[in-house]
C-alpha cells in the first residue's frame, strides 16, 4: 500500500501546497463517506457531477456547487438540514477524478469512538444552555402541528417543537422531518446524546446526528386523541 508520502508525491503536481490541499480533501471525502455510509468513489463522482450541474446526490447527502474561480470550486455537502462539510477543491482534481479514486485505499479510515453510557438520566430542571451529551427520559405533553421550514440553502424541511416533561420540569424539544410525526401526547421517550441551546429566550433540547430517540411506551391513537 502506498504510504502517505507516496500519495503526496503522486498528487504533488506543480505546487506542494496544492498537493497538501488535495490530500486533505481526499481525507475529508473518505471520512464523510465512512460516517454517512456511502462509497467514497461514488462521493467523488457526485462532486464531479455537482461541479458540472451545480447539484448532485450521493446516498442521503446533497452536494451543491457554491462558487468557482479559475483554480478551484467551493462545495457544500448537507444531509437534510445539517451542514456536513464545506471546502474548496482544486479543479485539477475534478478533471482527474480517477487519480483521487485510485488513492482512496491509501487513506486510513477513521476509528470509531466509543461513547461512555450515562449511568443516570439528566433531570430537566438541571439542564443549562450549552450542555452536551445529555440523556433524558421524559413524557410528551404537547405536540404542535408540524410546520414547513425553508433552510438557508433553500431546501424545505419540517419541524415540530414539542414539549417534554419529567417530575422536575419541562422543556421544548425540536423534532425534524421523519422524527416530527413519530410522537404523540402521552408518549414516554428516551433521548440520548442531546444538546441544550436557547431559542427565542427559552431553553431547547436538540437532537444531533449522533443522538437517538426511543419511544418507551407509545400511547394508542384513540387515547392520544382523547387527551389532546
- Residue that finishes a domain, picked among 54, 76, 106: 106
Residues 84 and 149 in one domain: no
Helical axes 4-11 vs 16-35, angle rounded to 10°: 120
Residues 135 and 84 in one domain: no
Q: What pLDDT was estimated at residue 68?
A: 86
Residue 118 lies in a domain: no
Q: What pLDDT was estimated at residue 159?
A: 87
Residues 83 and 161 in one domain: no
Residues 145 and 221 in one domain: yes
Q: What pLDDT was estimated at residue 19?
A: 63
Backbone angles phi, psi at 191, to 5 degrees: -115, 135
Residues 136 and 209 in one domain: yes
Residue-wise pLDDT tens digits, 23-74: 788 888 998 988 888 999 999 999 999 989 999 999 989 999 988 888 888 9
pTM for the whole thing?
Answer: 0.46
Residues 55 and 131 in one domain: no
Residue 113 lies in a domain: no
Residue 112 lies in a domain: no
DSSP structural state of residue 116: P
Residues 45 and 83 in one domain: yes
Cβ neighbours, 10 Å, residue 224: 17
Residues 97 and 135 in one domain: no
Residues 100 and 144 in one domain: no
Rg (CA), the chain: 22
Q: What pLDDT was estimated at residue 11?
A: 42
Instruction: Give, for all 228 residues of the chain, the pLDDT tens digit.
Output: 344 334 334 444 444 444 677 778 888 899 898 888 899 999 999 999 998 999 999 998 999 998 888 888 899 999 877 888 888 888 888 888 888 888 888 888 766 554 444 446 789 999 999 999 999 999 999 999 888 888 767 777 888 899 999 999 999 998 888 787 888 899 999 999 999 998 888 899 998 888 888 888 765 554 444 444
Q: What pLDDT was estimated at residue 111?
A: 61
- Residue that finishes a domain, picked among 77, 106, 135: 106
- Residue that finishes a domain, picked among 72, 106, 140: 106
Maximum C-alpha span of the chain: 71
Residue 126: helix, strand or coil by DSSP?
helix
User: Considering its fold, how many domains does the chain have in total?
Assistant: 2
CATH of the domain at 174: 2.40.50.140
Q: Provide the residue range defining the domain that includes 144.
A: 124-227
The set of cell numbers assigned to 213 is: 430517540
DSSP output for 155-179: -EEEEEEEEEE-SS-EEEEEEEGGG
Residue 197 lies in a domain: yes
Nearest to 108 by CA among 221, 7, 225, 199: 7
Q: What pLDDT was estimated at residue 112?
A: 54
Amino acid at each position: 500500500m502506498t504510504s502517505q508520502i507516496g500519495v503526496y508525491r503522486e498528487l504533488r503536481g506543480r505546487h506542494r501546497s496544492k498537493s497538501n490541499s488535495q490530500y486533505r480533501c481526499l481525507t475529508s471525502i473518505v471520512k464523510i463517506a465512512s460516517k454517512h455510509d456511502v462509497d467514497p468513489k461514488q462521493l467523488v463522482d457526485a462532486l464531479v457531477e455537482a461541479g458540472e450541474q451545480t447539484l448532485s446526490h450521493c446516498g442521503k447527502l446533497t452536494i451543491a456547487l457554491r462558487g468557482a474561480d479559475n483554480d478551484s470550486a467551493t462545495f457544500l455537502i448537507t444531509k437534510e438540514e445539517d451542514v456536513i462539510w464545506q471546502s474548496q477543491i482544486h479543479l485539477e482534481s475534478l478533471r482527474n477524478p480517477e487519480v483521487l479514486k485510485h488513492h482512496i485505499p491509501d487513506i486510513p479510515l477513521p476509528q470509531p469512538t466509543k461513547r461512555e453510557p450515562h449511568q443516570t438520566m439528566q433531570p430537566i430542571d438541571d439542564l443549562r444552555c450549552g450542555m452536551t451529551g445529555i440523556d433524558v427520559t421524559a413524557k410528551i405533553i404537547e405536540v404542535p402541528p408540524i410546520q414547513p421550514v425553508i433552510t438557508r440553502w433553500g431546501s424545505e424541511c419540517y419541524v415540530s417543537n414539542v414539549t417534554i416533561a419529567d417530575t422536575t420540569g419541562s422543556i421544548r424539544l425540536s423534532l425534524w422531518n421523519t422524527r416530527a410525526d413519530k410522537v404523540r401526547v402521552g408518549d414516554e421517550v428516551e433521548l440520548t446524546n442531546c444538546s441544550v441551546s436557547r431559542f427565542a429566550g427559552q431553553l431547547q433540547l436538540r437532537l444531533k446526528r449522533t443522538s437517538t430517540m426511543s419511544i418507551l411506551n407509545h400511547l394508542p391513537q384513540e387515547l392520544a386523541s382523547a387527551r389532546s
